Amino acid sequence: DQQVKQNSPSLSVQEGRISILNCDYTNSMFDYFLWYKKYPAEGPTFLISISSIKDKNEDGRFTVFLNKSAKHLSLHIVPSQPGDSAVYFCAASLVSGTYKYIFGTGTRLKVLA
- Which positions touch another protein (CB under 8 A)? 2, 4, 9, 36, 41-46, 49, 89, 98-106
The closest alpha carbon to 18, from 86, 72, 76, belongs to 76
**Dist CA 99 CA 106 (whole Å):** 20
Q: Which is nearer to another protein, 60 or 69 (CB)?
A: 60
Q: Which is nearer to another protein, 42 or 113 (CB)?
A: 42
Smallest separation (angstroms) from another protein to the CB of 16: 28
Smallest separation (angstroms) from another protein to the CB of 37: 11
**53: Cβ–Cβ under 8 A, 6 or more apart, which residues?**
none
Contact 90, 76 (CB under 8 A): no
Q: Which is nearer to another protein, 9 or 16 (CB)?
A: 9
